[in-house]
Chain A
């Protein structure tokens, strides 16, 4: 029911109805919260659009009656052996909020897993060898300059989303950063705004703006090539494309593809080994990535 409502909201957005209408509708979404379950009772809340499910209970569908829920004190739940009670007691004094575990729904997990596999192969068979070769023939500093250059061009995305989020200082910071880095910073290849003026990059995007206005992530989508995202993240990504200067200059698909491809190789060359580390540490790399994406984005929206 709820998801249909969201899709409805999203479709309004896609139809291009004015943004004010859209945000008003999202406000309504954010205020919905409901309770489920009996017995111990666990609470599903919509906070900042996320599903916060009770203390340590992740599995809503199965064994719901055993769940501890977000009840305080926990001893209201089941009484167990003395040892268990001791555990409950320890859980009881955990600071409010910390034990709330969010997770993102994933109704299309089988398809997402297929694309996860696809992206995995894309990385190991194509992206990694190319990026490794590229890394060998270019100095680190050069690749950092390339990264900074592309990042500088995306100023409109960050600045406009600062505005949409009411972060006026952030908006000014982004404009000033662009001004300084595009000139003194040699077309954005250097970052004197950060190093000399301590003007931090404002990492805001439309997905975060939507999250701030109360739109939930919807469900998890693992796109081929683009990687982990959500309904909200995808809408945000599409929205941000309009602010990407690449969309303003006329380019045919070939040129666009080459530029994006190069940027991707450059980024990968600076983060080689990170994906491998995630995979190595994980028991289920897909779930690890999905959860990391979700936690990362929720944290971004909060800040």
Chain B
């Protein structure tokens, strides 16, 4: 190839990279950042402080979070191969119950927030899948590595898994649910899940 052509190609290539980087980096991270900031604002709002405001606070956090999660995707990945054997109604029921379980777990954890700092360490995008890497610095000086896994559905990036120090939430529940289902039955498992969700 002619030398001058090489330069032309390199120029185009560089331009392409320059253009695509800002477009690529950002979208999933921005989604996570926006939601995180919103939650921190709610949790640190002096007007919402105190035990008597807990319900109100939880409602606001729930609202902020729920639209960022892809419940169906989470449910499907968690139930894994048991998912295909379920009827439409069973799937719907499971998505609802599992969603509630995750919500409770998440809200309980978030309630413990006490000024931890959040750093955005980068993201990886592969087609319609993305990973946002976050570091949380606790007040005790410990760093916790958190990864949000997102999937683009209809132009929206939605979270379908969160992993903390390499422990994926979906994988963890998948192992638990699977062990219960193969030992007893899906019906038994749903009964247990229901009891868990309705636990005070």
CB pair A66 B81 closer than 8 Å: yes
A287 within 8 A of partner (CB) = yes
CB distance from B180 to the nearest CB of A (A): 6
CB pair A144 B84 closer than 8 Å: no
**Which residues of chain A are near B179, meaning CB under 8 Å?**
58, 284, 287
CB pair A58 B174 closer than 8 Å: yes
CB pair B166 A296 closer than 8 Å: yes
**Which residues of chain B are near A302, meaning CB under 8 Å?**
166
CB distance from A7 to the nearest CB of B (A): 25
A138 within 8 A of partner (CB) = no
Q: Which residue of B lies closest to A195 (CB)?
A: B141
Q: Which residue of B lies closest to A293 (CB)?
A: B167
Residue-by-residue, is B182-200 near A (CB-CB < 8 Å gives 1, otherwise 0)?
A: 1000000000110010000
**Which residues of chain B are near A59, meaning CB under 8 Å?**
178, 182
Residue-by-residue, is A269-303 near B (CB-CB < 8 Å gives 1, otherwise 0)?
A: 01001000100111110011011100110111010
Q: What is the size, in residues, of chain B's interface with A at 8 Å between Cβ atoms?
A: 40
**Which residues of chain B are near A277, meaning CB under 8 Å?**
105, 108-109
CB pair B80 A56 closer than 8 Å: yes
CB pair A292 B112 closer than 8 Å: no
B90 within 8 A of partner (CB) = no
CB pair A68 B128 closer than 8 Å: no
CB pair B176 A287 closer than 8 Å: yes
Q: Which residue of B lies closest to A106 (CB)?
A: B179
CB distance from A182 to the nearest CB of B (A): 18
Most buried by B among A55, A80, A101: A101
B165 within 8 A of partner (CB) = yes
CB pair B83 A87 closer than 8 Å: yes
B126 within 8 A of partner (CB) = yes
CB distance from B84 to the nearest CB of A (A): 5
Contact of A68 among B81, B127, B168, B174 (CB under 8 A): B81
CB distance from B139 to the nearest CB of A (A): 8
CA distance A273 to B180 in the complex (A): 26
Binding site for A on B (CB under 8 A): 76-77, 80-81, 83-84, 88, 101, 104-105, 108-109, 112, 126-129, 139-141, 149, 163, 165-168, 171-180, 182, 192-193, 196
Binding site for B on A (CB under 8 A): 55-59, 62-63, 66-68, 80, 83-84, 87, 90, 93-95, 98-99, 101, 103, 140, 144, 191, 194-195, 270, 273, 277, 280-284, 287-288, 290-292, 295-296, 298-300, 302
- Inter-chain pairs besides A58-B175, A191-B141, A277-B105, 20 sampled, C-beta below 8 Å: A58-B80, A84-B84, A94-B129, A95-B127, A101-B175, A140-B139, A195-B141, A281-B105, A283-B173, A283-B180, A283-B193, A284-B179, A291-B167, A291-B172, A291-B175, A292-B167, A296-B165, A296-B167, A299-B167, A302-B166
A to B CB contacts below 8 Å, 25 in the list: A55-B80, A56-B77, A56-B81, A58-B80, A58-B174, A59-B182, A66-B81, A68-B81, A80-B84, A83-B88, A84-B84, A87-B76, A87-B83, A87-B84, A101-B171, A194-B141, A277-B105, A280-B105, A281-B105, A283-B180, A288-B175, A292-B172, A295-B163, A295-B166, A296-B167
